[in-house]
Structure 1
Amino acid sequence: MPELIARIAASIRRERERAGLSQTELARRAGLAKSTLSQLEAGTGNPSVETLWALGTALDVPFSRLVDPPRPAVRVIRAGEGPVTRSEQADYAATLLASCPPNIRRDLYRVVAQPGDPHLSEPHAPGTAEHVVLGSGRALAGPADAPVELLPGDYIAYPGDAPHLFQALTADTTAVFAIEYA
């Protein structure tokens, strides 16, 4: 329970700062005493579901954002990893790599690339995220300053609103890209 309280405290503080609100203003919008909010952000309070809903509404974020740990900006799922659901009717297994957040637009691309210079991409619009699943070959993909080597079946997600790259390391490397625009 102390870990959950610490996570909630950090989430409230993170989302309040992201929204550019003072503790006083957030407390007012959520209908809480400033001292209560201060205790919650310090990790010394034990918020009720109703309090968290009020804070989420005041911050314009889903309830889950206050209780779930923040997801890292770069995620890699190696082939054979991730939650798998199997079919009873066929030899078929589906691995969820990423669910689409509300109000997000997503484009899908199939890419074929050859070894050579990396494809460098300038930052896209704020809030853009890219997802890549490598189909064949080997490649470097991700943030321009910290790309990750991928093998067939590997998945990576990274901010598309920062410089990023894709570089084939073997001939006829293929990948599927999903680009989410906020």
Structure 2
Amino acid sequence: MSTESAPQLGPIIQAERKARHLTLEQLAARSGVSKSMLSQIERGEANPTFAVLWGLTQALQLDLSELVGGGVTQKQAETIEVVSLAHTPEIRSPKGDWTLRILSPPNLASQVEWYEVEIAAGKSLASSPHSAGTTEHLTAWTDGLSVISGGNRQKLANGETARYRADLPHEIVNEATAPARALMVVHYRS
């Protein structure tokens, strides 16, 4: 018989729970293990059964063999970040002519940025030149939009995409009698 003692799982489980900012109640709900049992396990007053351990490791996204072996490695979870409409940043023109909803993550600013564009009927979004080599890609979600870049003007139908230089003065015009919407991607050259 081995003289090696059993691993103390309670403190490891408690540390992993706290690292994930979970309360006992939250871990209980995720794992199906009662709050009182969790508390006893974390204090070392109860030894969890295999079924209890399995529920805890699944809820904490831990590898069971490493937990029992004393070294814990968290599984790489696929992360899906969701930004609600209420938390999507917006830029609005002072007169209400247009709205840009910033859909791209902040860490990509000045590399590639994408926006939901809404322009009021008969209004436009005019831009000064961006840095050299910058291009924009505008996909119309409604009819009535035109793009002007340099001396060129192009009308777009719903679903069409215009790709144009944005290192020149450029403008997106809504020639319709209703608000127009589009997806705009700005690509900066490095």
For Structure 1 versus Structure 2, the TM-score category normalised by the shorter chain is 0.3 to 0.5
Q: What TM-score results when the alignment is normalised by the length of structure 1?
A: 0.41
Q: What TM-score results when the alignment is normalised by the length of structure 2?
A: 0.39
Q: Which has the higher contact order (CA 8 A, sep 6+)?
A: 1
